[in-house]
Amino acid sequence: MRSDNKIKSGVSMFSIGFSLTRSITVNRPVSEVMAIVGDFNQWNAWSPWIIQEPSCPVTVTGEPSKENHKQHWDGERIGSGQMILTEVIADKQLSYDLEFFKPWKSKSKTQFTFEAITTESGEEATKVNWLMQGSLPFFLFFMKKMMIAFISFDYDRGLNMLQEYIETGSVQSSVEIQGIKKQKGFHYVGFRHKCNIEDIKQVMGPCFQQLIDEKVPLPDMMVTISHKFDFVTGECELTGAFAYFNKPSFDVPTNMVFGEIPEHDGLQVDHTGSYNYLSNGWATAKGYQQYAKLKSLKGVADYEVYRNSPKSVAEEELLTSIILPVKS
């Protein structure tokens, strides 16, 4: 959810500034929310970056929610950097200096602002805004929209986890990189849709029940195939499908699509937990692909495979494999 909050930042004549804000509502009082955000000792539970590399060394110094409270991380895949709490405005704002050391050096300003609100049921809640102001070298002007889109994606993942962590005490999401594995080819039958990224759940959620209602024969796997996913425009094109290792002999209904994914090598990343956090698996997979310099297999779409079902296991036990086809 976007916010109209804007904070000006100084930009040199040789750089291009950017700013962004992402927001969420947490059903807890400001004091409780601000105390957790202001404590780096609790960030590992909801950080959108640490979940991609849980073994990343993190050092925390200073007193939580006090100026000069500091977090330093030194990851192999997510890079290294530090955040320092520079200003605390009681019940309103936490401000930080953010510095990255690798994979490249950069400095930014970030803030969390907190607004007390009341829910429809009359309970105390907090609107949390996460802001950033940064800059890019002038010669990288063409990356500005992409940079804003990617950071916004990370902020949204983090805020969603923060919300659950504060409201329930835990986050139902974990990721494990399985590496490159030979993936068996399959044929698929399903529904192909174009939609905005923010509408994926509403648009794609009913696909599998529709397949069942249409009495399509039970599959070997259930998959969602990602034909297009553009963070900058917010547009995507996906197919929710039943997948079969052998070519189906039945007639495919005219309102469905039929296709094939050939056998291939694929980077496999497994996500365990709520489907609401599948973006953590995708972020980890894409990040690892870049880190390992793996080239995508041309003409073969990325996809996810649902290894079990919400009808058979608890939400925290849902297992989904994200597969990125790569060149051998």
pLDDT in tens, 117-163: 999 889 999 999 999 998 776 666 667 788 888 899 999 999 999 99
What pLDDT is recorded for position 14?
56
Q: Do domains 15-171 and 178-325 have the same CATH topology?
A: no
What pLDDT is recorded for position 18?
82
What pLDDT is recorded for position 141?
67
What pLDDT is recorded for position 106?
82
Specify whether domain 15-171 bears CATH 3.40.50.960. Answer: no
Question: What is the C-alpha to C-alpha distance for residues 188 and 246, in angstroms, rounded to an integer?
Answer: 10
What pLDDT is recorded for position 11?
46
The series of mean pLDDT values per 10 residues for the chain, 328 residues long, is 42 69 97 98 97 96 98 95 97 96 87 96 95 78 78 95 97 97 98 94 94 96 97 94 97 96 98 97 96 97 97 96 96
User: How is 173-184 classified by DSSP, letter by letter?
Assistant: EEEEEEEEEEE-
Cis check for the bond before 103: say yes or no (omega within 30 of 0).
yes
CATH architecture of 178-325: Alpha-Beta Barrel (3.20)
> Which residue carries 């069942």 as its tokens?
212
**Prediction pTM value:** 0.90
Tokens, residue 62: 């200073």
Query: What are the extents of the domains in the chain?
Result: 15-171, 178-325
